[in-house]
Amino acid sequence: LASIKKSHNSYKSTYLRAVLDNDSKSAIRALRGVVKSGNALGLNVDFYQNELHRFLKENKKFIKPKESITKKIYPKDLIRTSQNRFKKLRTKSSTLRLDFTKNISKKDVKQFKLYDKKNKIYRYVFDIKAILPKKIPSARIKGIEKIKIAQFNKQKMRVVFSNSSKLNIGMETEDKRLILTVKNFSVAKKSKKRYDFSNKVVVIDPGHGGKDVGAIGAKNVYEKEIVLAVSKRIEEQLRKKGIRVYMTRRSDRFIKLRKRTEFANKKRADLFVSVHANAASKRSSKYRELKGVETYFLSASRSKRASRVAQKENQKDMEAMDYFGKKNFLHFLNREKIIASNKLAIDVQQGVLARLNKHYNGIRDSGVREGPFWVLVGAQMPAVLVELGYITNKREAQNLTSRSYQKRIAQGIAEGIVRYFTKN
Ligand SMILES: [Zn+2]
């Protein structure tokens, strides 16, 4: 056990180093180690699992073929004789209706249940004597975590319902139709717990102000004005949830970067959220097209994109750089705080995306990123910087000046913060 613990810790630090070095391949390898050893130790590795998932999504070339209980068989391998074929699928509230080319009876379906102890997931498997077309259908039932459909072997297709709570699934047949109904549907839904946030303190930091206007966008939109408007709405949303909120500024005035986190430290804040809007570089060929929401946490990362955004946000306050000093910078990077900030960034980004996607089309998720932002350096608590969108993009500038959009993006940020508090 001691040796697993040791390798667990060493994987963790390898992961952090890889994150700081922007080395996805090592990060993925280390994360796999963290998850495996963490599972062996019975630790909660949800965060690392999510991180692994995120890295794999961003770096598809490193994905190992996954072991699966459903094997993929290509249609050309199938015997194209008298077998029954799947025709179409319809989902209606908690019911899946599968139509076939021929009559189907209960004898054609084998049903069994599996419990995946490691992931604490129940799987309900239906093996159906039929062949799927080339284009595998997909199904979703709200409240059920996953439904997977695949060709299991040359004779059978397989439908698997995966869920972390038990399900009761009924089966009926009607001529060429198979009907699967989740019966305890309301039970499968997660119940909402009530939390008390009255002891939580959040500092919201509207970027720039006064002589520092920040980025200037399409239609002469100023970053300092947009971020103040949105920040006030975040404050309002958080207060509604009972969270205590302080703002680094509530009017158009200049504040040094260093003073912003000093303020948060003095207030003993649990979280620090700096709010900004992005602008494309005038030299960029995509000057008008660039758009998207992104959330940053502090690291020494020198990726091109992070450096550019950080430079833009840092430039009006060189004093901060002298104060924190290039050498001391790394001294402020503490492992636990980076991990917590990374978690917060993930929750905030997801909160914003979930909220905006409910109301708008074409919202771009530019993801969670890391970079050397001076405004985050002095914070003694988890700290993130949200870039609400590109004000150099006409559409996003328009969105960000509209009251309803400002309210929704603020709501999304507040929801992300609440999610972070409830999870941690
Ligand atoms: Zn800014």
Which pLDDT value is given to residue 187?
Answer: 46
The amino acid sitting at 235 is E
Kindly report, residue by residue over 263-309, the tens digit of the pLDDT: 999 999 999 999 999 999 888 888 888 899 999 998 876 677 777 88
Position 283 scores a pLDDT of 83
Cα 104 to averaged position of ligand 1 atoms, centre (Å): 62
User: How does 351-366 read in b/e, with b if 16+ C-beta sit within 10 Å?
Assistant: bbbebbeeeeeebbeb
- Summarize the confidence of residues 219-235 as an average pLDDT: 96
Q: How many CB atoms lie within 10 A of CB 209?
A: 22
Tokens of 360: 């708008």
DSSP-derived secondary structure for 215-229: -B-GGG-BHHHHHHH
Which pLDDT score is estimated for 305? 76
Residue 106: C-alpha distances to residues 81, 95, 172 (Å): 22, 17, 7
CA triplet 163, 8, 336: central angle to 5 degrees? 90
Distance 266 CA to ligand 1 centre (A): 23
Of 104-118, 176-190, 194-208, 354-368, least confident by mean pLDDT is 176-190
Instruction: Look at residue 255 in the predicted model and tell me its pLDDT.
Output: 94
Residues in the chain, overall count = 424
Ligand 1 centroid vs 222 CA: distance in angstroms? 10
Distance, CA 183 to ligand 1 centroid (Å)?
Answer: 51
Closest CA to 218 of 389, 410, 3: 389
Ligand 1 center from residue 280 Cα (angstroms): 12
Q: Give just the sign of the alpha carbon dihedral 280, 222, 393, 295.
A: positive
Give residue 217 CA to ligand 1 midpoint distance, Å: 12
**Ramachandran bin of 62, using left for φ above 0, alpha for ψ from -120 to 50, beta for the remaining angles:** alpha
Please give all residues whose CB falls under 5 A of ion ligand 1, grouped by chain where several chains appear: 207, 214, 276, 313
% pLDDT > 70, the chain: 88
- For residue 55, with 0-12 CB atoms within 10 Å meaning exposed, 13-18 middle and 19 or more buried, which class applies? buried
Torsion sign, CA atoms 79, 84, 88, 93: negative
Give pLDDT tens digits for 111-121: 999 988 888 88
What is the residue-averaged pLDDT of the chain? Answer: 86
